[in-house]
Amino acid sequence: MQLKKRVVLVEDHKILREGLRSLLSHSSDLEVVGEAEDGLSAIRTVLDIEPDLVLLDLNMPKMDGISVILEVKGRCPETKILALTMHKGEENILQAFKSGADGYCLKTAGHEELLMAISSVLSGKQYLSPEISGKILEGYLESKKSIRKESSFDSLTRREKEVLKLVGEGYQNKEIADYLCISVKTVEKHRANIMEKLDLHTASALTAYAIEKGLVTR
């Protein structure tokens, strides 16, 4: 016979705790073994019971949810934590995962989604509510794109930056070669390297980038 997964509910609103307990009581795989209504009692309860899962509200009295996550994960790393909250902000979500949360589910979720989130987290997967996952992914990709562009600029050699500046100022390859006292083929090679490193493939894109980086005055 498979043992039920033991769950601790951490929520400062009694009516919500009762609702969660009632919902989970209908699951053959889950058993509520403890409850807490503030951050400090949550830590004591979790350390005493060492449950399989903690359903945790992030906005808690006495100690906030992020601090609870850090404390629990530091002392009971095997315990899974599913944040259950109203907060949709990207900063809250990223902070929760950075602190060690295994999942992030909005309180607006239906019963089926919550049970799916619990199952996902208990199986070792991370969970993020579909309502906010697209927004977070978009923000993540944009930040990665910005980081990539910044590091790509730093990867340009001094000569490549000189060529980029002159391209941005509207000079042709022959003019750049004469100005820098190098061959046209060398200029072409530098331009090809610049385009590859920056993932920019037209003169207008290079000009806009050079302006953005302050190499060229509009």
**DSSP alpha helix (H) spans, the chain:** 14-25, 39-49, 65-75, 90-99, 111-122, 130-155, 158-168, 173-180, 184-198, 203-212
**Structural domain count, the chain:** 2
88 with 132: CB under 8 angstroms? yes
135 with 90: CB under 8 angstroms? yes
**CATH code, domain carrying 92:** 3.40.50.2300
Structural domain of 163: 156-212
Alpha-carbon Rg for the chain, nearest whole angstrom, is 27
Among 88, 105, 136, give the residue marking a domain's end.
136
Are 73 and 160 members of one domain? no
In degrees rounded to 5, what are phi and psi of residue 159?
-65, -40
The whole-number pLDDT of residue 138 equals 55
* Type of residue numbered 207: T
Are 132 and 162 members of one domain? no
**CATH code, domain carrying 179:** 1.10.10.10
Are 113 and 63 members of one domain? yes
Low-confidence residues of the chain: pLDDT under 50 = 141, 144, 147-148
Among 77, 102, 136, give the residue marking a domain's end.
136
pLDDT for 97-109, tens place per residue?
A: 888 999 999 988 8
Residue 150 belongs to some domain of the structure: no
Are 181 and 118 members of one domain? no
Residue 81 belongs to some domain of the structure: yes
Are 129 and 166 members of one domain? no
The whole-number pLDDT of residue 97 equals 85
Residue 172 belongs to some domain of the structure: yes
DSSP letter (8 states) at residue 62: S
Q: What residue has token string 């902070």?
A: 95
